[in-house]
Amino acid sequence: MDILSSDNTGVIEQLRAVQGNPVRLLRTAHALLGNWLAVMSSFGAESALLLAFVAEAERTMKVLFLNTGKHFPQTLAYRRELADVLGLSNVEDIGPSSGQVSDRDPTGELWAFDPDACCNLRKVEPLNVASLPYEALVTGRKRGQAATRAAMDIVENRGDGQIRINPLAFWSAQDIAAEMQRRALPPHPLVAEGYLSIGCAPCTRPVGGHEDARSGRWSGLNKTECGIHVTG
């Protein structure tokens, strides 16, 4: 199909008509958008369920993994394991160029004194480039993860013209855990250590039972999002 025009109302309406069923939603999105559709995955604490839905809908769907260069080694191993277990055949690692990292973060400590700049370098800018060919991106975001996501819809028409599809937007952590167990999906190894939202190693800590899942991200800083899901 041709790349979508700025008026994507018809596509959004068709997606919203099936948004209650994650697999059907993903199949419909793939049928409508084909190669203009990609999935973003952190291969984090709850990623296995969305990726299982992707595999059930269409195993060849493009999956983008942001390899920031600061991940826990357990996340990199889990990325390989999940892709193998689910039979995902089109996972692409994206990230900053070595030249950009050398120029802007030569010591690897940018996260410690300017986390926004670090996220821009290692996440926002690489994804902006990698996502240019796509009219729609699928994410694993949920409303219950943080206050910044509490009003999120399953199908979003963003201000920049790109569609975001969030099949798990209304799923609770308990629902996801139960479905992952039912499907016998392997958990991220750090979940057992209290990491309920897993990002880069220097900026992620375990959380307590009274905290929301993302409170362990950029703990102690006035920061709750890396910027890849925010538009101006």
Q: Which of 151, 197, 153 is nearest to 173 (CA)?
A: 197
Inter-CA distances, 172 with 67, 146, 211, Å: 27, 12, 15
Beta-strand relationship, 155-157 and 163-165: antiparallel
Is 226 annotated as catalytic?
Answer: yes
Residue 150 identity? A
Inter-CA distances, 53 with 22, 138, 140, 144, 170, Å: 7, 11, 11, 20, 15
Cα–Cα distance for residue pair 45/164, rounded to 1 Å: 21
Cα–Cα distance for residue pair 52/49, rounded to 1 Å: 5
Among 118, 200, 203, 226, which one carries the catalytic annotation? 226
CB burial of 73-102 (b: ≥16 within 10 Å; e: otherwise) equals: ebbeebbeebbeebebeebeebbbeeeebe
Beta-strand relationship, 155-157 and 136-138: unpaired
Cα–Cα distance for residue pair 157/162, rounded to 1 Å: 6
Q: What is the DSSP letter of 222?
A: S
- Which residues are designated catalytic? 226
